[in-house]
Structures are given as structure tokens and as C-alpha cells.
Amino acid sequence: MALIREIEAARNSRLICYVTGDRENLSTRIAPDVTGVFFRHLELIGTHPLIDVLLYTRGGDVLTPWRLVHLIREYTDRLGVLVPFRAYSSGTLICLGADEVVMGKMGELGPIDPSVVNAFNPQDPTNPVARMPVNIEDVYSYLALACDKAGICTDEQLGKAFLLLGEHIHPLALGNVHRNYLLIRSLAKKLISLHQQPPDEASVASIVDSLTEKLYAHNHMIPRREAAAEIHLPVVYPSEQLEKLVWDLYLEYARELVLDEPFNPVELLHDSRCEFRVMSGVVESTLAQDAFVFEGVVERQDFPESGKINVNILKQGWRKVL
């Protein structure tokens, strides 16, 4: 809380920290259930000329940023996002909705070219219950490849290339890809249009193109210099003092959520059965704190296989801490 107050003083803002943990085996993501959590914090904070969100995430649901940014803007005219480290994918979408993105030296954004999964996606050959994600840009890249490099450019030839694709990916999965192709571009444009001083139409189109298809790899990590100079996002370099405060706060969360160690239930088991409760996400402001908690049971099973460990998650969700 002390660091949050110091950052608020340095920025003359009110701060909400949102961390989706990426601890191996027990991570969390941006999802609609966080909206109600933010509402509680915002109601306690009230309106303020500048509200900041400190964000650490590898991404998640692409529709949540739209709702979240709108909700925060009900309480402020100016939204800032502080990025100490990772704000990938739908985290980058939240940044698009901000008037300023404060990035330190370790700050990273990511492309907004999501992979989509639904029940019609191709089956994972090594696991019959799993579905392979399909990256939206990969599908469009395949058709671009057919024309640009293989010279398959006539309607008839492209039709055949498309039919070939449909033999490997279910038509409804392809429909889902196209819907999301349009959705992500529309969301990005609409989020930028929420700025106090939105850029002109050509600049918006350039930002959206850069983040959706011009980076060529979903894992591309966008540092602050690239975000500012090449993609033309409203990036702000923090003072040394502010950068240290923001980084120290990130380190506190990383330590609290044990982000650098995999969650290994076997280590919890000293007897044949053990209950556990692990925190894997945080929303915190000076007035309230919420945690995403997994609760479950670890059991050692000696029959039919000796020494087998079963882990059952019995409850999971956001819990009010303060």
C-alpha cells in the first residue's frame, strides 16, 4: 500500500494495480469476471482527473479491455497505464485505450493477433480432448502466401486454396477466425478513439496494422522505444524515481504470487491428503484488495497406480481481501 501511495503522489493520480499471475501450472488471465472487482475499487476511489492502472499480464479475453476501459473512464477523463514489465495481447488492448502508457526500461507490449479456440478447432493429435488454437493472422497469411509467393491469385485458384484449408480446419472454426479478425481491428480502433485527444484516422489505422499484422510473430516483445517511435503509441518515459517505485511494486507482486516458481502440489503433500489455497491474481488500490484464489485438494493415490497424485480444484474465483 505504501508504494501505491508513493506512486499516486508522484503521478498526482489514483492507482489500481491489476496483476494476472503467470505462475506455471496456476496462472490467471484477463477475463470478464474482473470487471465487478474493478467496479468495487472505482466506487471507493470515486471520480478523479487521472486514474492509473498498473498492469502485469500475458493477456486473456479480448473483449474485457473494452468493457474495463469504459468502466474506468466513467470515473476519470484521463486514463494512464503503468507497464513495469509484461502487458501482452489483451493487456496491450487496455494500453490502447489509455491516454498515456508509462513504460519503464523493462516494459513490454505485445501484438494483438489472438489465437482463437472453439469446439470446432482441430483436435490436438497427442491429446483427443484438447483443441489446437488457430492464430487469426496465420489463416490470412496462408492466403497471402498463396497469392504473393505461389502466384495463386485468380478467384478460382484462391477458391481451391481456401477449400484446401477447409479440409483441415472446420468451416465454423474458420468463421470464428474471420469474426475475430474483424473484431480485434474494430476493438483496437474504438479503444484509441476513447482518448482525450485521439490521433487522426490514418495514424489509428497505422497503429492497428502494426499491432495486428506487421510484427509477424505473436511472441514479439515490444519495448518502449519501438512502441513510441515506430508504432506511435502515447508512450511516456517515467522519471528514474517513478520507474523504481513501479518496478519495486511489480517485484512485490511477483514475490507474493511466487511468479518465478512453478506451483508444484507434490511439495505440499506431507501426508496422503492436503488442502491448498493459492493466490494467482491481484487487484489492489489504497482502499481495497482482491485476490484470485484457487482452492483444492491434493491426494496421494496408491491404487491402481502406486504414488499417483491427484489434484482437484474445488473453488476458484476473485475473493475480497480488504
Partner 1 sequence: MSKNDGIVGNGGNCEGRVEVHYQFPGRSTKYYLLTAGSGYPSAEFRFPLSGPDRRLVVPEAAKSSANPPPEG
The residue (of 46 and 317) whose beta carbon lies closer to partner 1 is 317
The residue (of 56 and 292) whose beta carbon lies closer to partner 1 is 292
Report in angstroms the alpha-carbon separations of 12 from 9, 94, 255.
Answer: 5, 21, 27
Closest CA to 293 of 312, 276, 311, 279: 279
Q: In angstroms, give the least distance from the CB of 210 to partner 1.
A: 23
The residue (of 118 and 157) whose beta carbon lies closer to partner 1 is 118
The residue (of 64 and 76) whose beta carbon lies closer to partner 1 is 64
In our burial notation (b when 16+ CB lie closer than 10 A, e otherwise), range 172-207 reads ebbebbeebbebbbebbbebbebbeeebeeeebebb
The span from the first CA to the last CA of the chain, in angstroms, equals 12
Other CB atoms closer than 10 Å to residue 63's CB: what's the count? 15
Q: In angstroms, give the least distance from the CB of 97 to partner 1.
A: 19
Q: In angstroms, give the least distance from the CB of 129 to partner 1.
A: 5
Other CB atoms closer than 10 Å to residue 225's CB: what's the count? 12
Q: In angstroms, give the least distance from the CB of 122 to partner 1.
A: 11
The residue (of 197 and 312) whose beta carbon lies closer to partner 1 is 312
The residue (of 133 and 199) whose beta carbon lies closer to partner 1 is 133
Contact positions vs partner 1 (CB under 8 A): 20, 24-34, 60, 117-119, 124, 126-127, 129-133, 262, 264-265, 280-281, 292, 294, 296, 310-318
The residue (of 130 and 153) whose beta carbon lies closer to partner 1 is 130
Q: In angstroms, give the least distance from the CB of 265 to partner 1.
A: 8
Using CA of residue 204, residue 230, residue 214, residue 55, what is the dihedral sign?
A: negative
273-284 and 14-20 as β-strands: parallel, antiparallel, unpaired? antiparallel
Distance (Å, rounded) from C-alpha 96 to C-alpha 34? 19
Distance (Å, rounded) from C-alpha 245 to C-alpha 239? 10
Helical packing angle, 2-11 and 240-256, nearest 10°: 150
Q: In angstroms, give the least distance from the CB of 306 to partner 1.
A: 15
Q: In angstroms, give the least distance from the CB of 240 to partner 1.
A: 29
